[in-house]
A and B are shown apart, each in its own frame.
Chain A
Amino acid sequence: MAVTPPDQKIWWNEPIHRLELGWIVIAFLWGLFMFFFMIAWHFIGDQNLSTETYRIQPSAFEAKVEAFAEQYQVGEESGVPVVRPPAGEDVFMLARLWEWWPVLELKKDQSYRIHLSSLDWQHGFSLQPTGINIQVHPGYEHVITLTPTEAGEFGVICNEFCGIGHHQMTGRIRVVE
């Protein structure tokens, strides 16, 4: 039994059950497949999280985002600037206690280089209802090339716990045709 020492002292020479052997082969091949599929998706897939990252002081990032918002601001919504950057442009969004700033207006099927960083604690960029979830760190500027494929209003929710105002922390990305 499993609670007593093996009956045969030389247990490592016992035969392996056929079913065990078959299952090990299947599990092994499936594991190999899953490994290679992650690599393959970098070539065949259109959804691969960028790893382009720069170290940056929160205050420096804040200055960049403010300059960006001032340059392309087209309106205001709940006291937050609405920013419409030209297609293909560098776009900035910052996370801080407890808001995503500013509101972005993007064009469908155009690519943008989105720069994400936090000014204080960690936050979670959760773009809904599409379902893109990215961790946002203070001190790290993460650049993601994003191409919206559908028009509409999208919410940015914080899904990394960031204190008592965590559930008030939302932002908005609007995609127009």
Chain B
Amino acid sequence: MTAIDVGSAGIAGATAEFRTCGYTGLKVDLAAQRLIKANAVAAVIFLLLGGLMGLLVALTRWPAVHLLPAEWFYLILTGHGANVLLFWIIFFEMAVLYFASAILLNCRLATPKLAWLGFALMVIGAVLANIAVLQGDSTVMFTSYVPMKAAPHFYLALILFAVGALIAVGVFFGTLVVARAERTYEGSIPLVTFGALTAAIIAVFTIASGAIILIPTFFWSIGLISDIDPLMYKVIWWGMGHSSQQINVSAHVAIWYAIAALVLGAKPLSEKVSRTAFLMYILFLQLASAHHLLAEPGMSAEWKIVNTSYMMYLAVMGSMIHGMTVPGSIEAAQRRNGFDKGVFEWLRKAPWSNPAFSGMFLSLVMFGFIGGISGVVLGTEQLNVLMHNTLYVPGHFHGTVVAGTTLAFMAITYLVLPLIFQREIVWPKLAQWQPYLFGIGAAGISLLMMGAGTLGVARRHWDLTLTDAAHAFEYPPAAFLMMGLNGLFALLASAGGVIYILVVVATVLKGKRLDTADVQPLTFPLHQGAKTVSEYGSEGTVKLPGTIVLVGIFFAAFVLYYFVNWKYLSDLWLFR
């Protein structure tokens, strides 16, 4: 690799090929475009695989169906976690990073060859991990808690994948430096790029934690290390496991802003507030792995309280700010676009038939109401004992990662297809329904798993009836009902997922090419009647009653649900 060499870097700069985007007039680096395509395609392939595995899991937990035998259930559940939570999401995030750097900054991508090396490592890691899981001796679940042991190549696969991702993050940072040096933009980086930068910084911390714990675990699995303390493993593993979720949040919040801008011409109400909220993620959430250890022996109550909340829940505050500024900026834009009647005309007359917008808005609402509120409750020191390791936990994170992140990623795909793949979306009617189907399905499985978890149903558990158990125990009938409904909603979400994949694949392969001269240009913002909002700061003069109502409902739901859980807790046996 001679890319570090000054001469060759100069040549790379000189030889980077660009096309001019027909819609935005932006310069698009072809190397970046190819990498975005490759990462997006890889992401969708692993979504297909992981999503199918998820459906099998849901069908097994549906008492009336109980599809897979126990051994396969646990194996498939391990694969489901790795494929959707790691591979789908991180491949897609790499595409987001390249988009937010090279494309939005009008710049060439730094060291495309190195980026391809990273991509290759990620693909090798992801494939190897799937091989390890399917071979059957690495059924250790996504968390792979020691002293349960997987095959050495399972850990090796995750390490390779992480190294690949780290390289891609490095290319992203490099591109920011190049853009600054070559003055491809004026002033500060756009808010969306800032959000992506947040995600990238957290990714470095995440991958470092992963390396610190997975490399010794790999040595342990091949016999070079005799013993790994299970509690120590967990503390560090969650430095990766939780922070990686924070990458997702930063990335999908950046996407919310991007879609609001591209579809409605929305501007952040103030750059200062939105950027500070991103900064809070970097400062206060990446160490909050403590909330995965609240039911654990060995840690003091002080350690748990301080680390889950950082004294005042500053990272939660970051998300609450975005949860207000995103709809706020949409309301401001819509009111300026003329939809100014009453409290909610701006929302009623939003482009609900544009899947990019509907997906984004559903993602925003469900991430807040389902994933966000349940996350804070689950992460409260005492309340955690109520639902630790019950199905409530997967219920919560399907609210964040499926209804939140995955839906947001699907939504932006409907803009990436014309802009980067330069193809017109085939079957627009089908695409129009996709976010609703997937969103309702995702909301259903999240809420029903949370419900079943509240009734005590264990997570990662094959047999709701406990037939083979030494001491019989019966869960309440409502739990059976919920797990049946959960299966139905999983079918709905799967239908949404299948439509998404069909539309993407068909569009990439067969969609009408948009890079020829005779195409109708798309004008941004896309929404009819939308025009770019004029001045910064002038948003201060716009009244936003709709957003006030929305955040009011959110806050009321939050407070109510929080205290309902304290009431549940106070009814338990006494323990201290």
Contact = CB atoms under 8 A, between A and B. Distances in A.
Contacts of A39: 305
A31 B566 CA distance: 16
Interface residues of B, number: 111
B268 interface: yes
Per DSSP, chain A at the interface is mixed
B574 A46 contact: yes
B553 interface: no
Contacts of B547: 19
B188 interface: yes
Nearest to A162: B148
Nearest to A77: B471
Contacts of B271: 6, 11-12, 14
Given A19-B324, A47-B570, A168-B469, A138 B230 contact: yes
Interface stretch (A64-72, A84-92, A118-126): A118-126
Contacts of B71: 164
Of the candidates A51, A77, A136, the one having the most CB atoms from chain B within 10 angstroms of its own CB is A51
A48 B575 contact: yes
B463 A167 contact: yes
B141 A161 contact: yes
Per DSSP, chain B at the interface is loop
Contacts of A135: 293, 295-297, 388-389
A2 B104 CA distance: 10
Interface string B534-576: 0111011000100110010001001100100010111011111
Given A23-B321, A167-B462, A169-B469, A130 B573 contact: yes
B399 to A, nearest CB: 19
A73 interface: no
Contacts of A161: 74, 141, 460-461
A16 B273 contact: yes
A53 B463 contact: no
B459 A49 contact: no
Interface string B310-342: 011110110011001100110000000000000
A170 B71 CA distance: 18
A130 B461 CA distance: 19
B456 A170 contact: no
Closest 5 CB pairs of A and B: A155-B473, A31-B313, A142-B297, A159-B458, A2-B257
Contacts of A5: 185-190
Interface in B363-403: 376, 380-382, 385-390
25 contacts: A4-B261, A11-B536, A16-B270, A19-B544, A26-B555, A31-B317, A32-B312, A34-B313, A47-B572, A49-B294, A103-B471, A116-B297, A121-B148, A131-B568, A133-B388, A136-B297, A137-B296, A137-B298, A157-B473, A159-B458, A159-B459, A163-B74, A163-B139, A167-B466, A168-B469
Of the candidates A49, A111, A141, A150, the one having the most CB atoms from chain B within 10 angstroms of its own CB is A49
A81 to B, nearest CB: 13
A146 to B, nearest CB: 5
Contacts of B569: 45, 47
Given A37-B566, A46-B575, A129-B456, 16 more contacts: A4-B104, A6-B191, A9-B187, A14-B270, A30-B559, A31-B314, A34-B562, A45-B569, A46-B570, A50-B575, A121-B148, A122-B147, A122-B148, A139-B229, A140-B230, A155-B473
B231 interface: yes
Contacts of B309: 31, 34-35, 38
A146 B260 contact: no
Interface string A87-119: 000000000000100010000000100001000
B375 to A, nearest CB: 12
Contacts of A77: 471
B573 to A, nearest CB: 5
Contact of A3 (B262, B320, B473): B262
Contact of A168 (B314, B385, B470): B470
Contact of B380 (A7, A38, A120): A38
Given A11-B188, A128-B456, A149 B574 contact: yes
Given A9-B188, A131-B386, A133-B389, A163 B148 contact: yes
B298 A53 contact: yes
Nearest to A5: B187
A49 to B, nearest CB: 6
A47 B74 CA distance: 33
Of the candidates B299, B328, B456, B460, the one having the most CB atoms from chain A within 10 angstroms of its own CB is B456
Given A131-B456, A159-B459, A12 B261 contact: no
Interface of A: 1-9, 11-12, 14-20, 23-24, 26-28, 30-32, 34-35, 37-39, 41-42, 45-51, 53, 77-80, 99, 103, 111, 116, 120-122, 124, 126-142, 144-150, 155-164, 166-172
Contacts of B257: 2-3
Given A19-B544, A135-B295, A146-B575, A6 B188 contact: yes
B427 interface: no
B544 A3 contact: no
B377 to A, nearest CB: 10
Nearest to A32: B312
A100 to B, nearest CB: 8
A20 B537 CA distance: 12
A51 B298 contact: yes
B209 interface: no
A144 to B, nearest CB: 5
A20 B300 contact: no
A2 B559 CA distance: 31
B70 interface: yes
A78 B574 contact: no
B535 to A, nearest CB: 7
B469 A170 contact: yes
A28 to B, nearest CB: 6
Interface string B268-303: 111111100000000000000000011111111100
B461 A167 contact: yes
Contacts of A27: 316-317, 320-321
A47 B260 contact: no
A145 B147 CA distance: 27
B328 A133 contact: no
A2 B461 contact: no
B385 A6 contact: no
Nearest to B271: A11
A139 B271 CA distance: 51
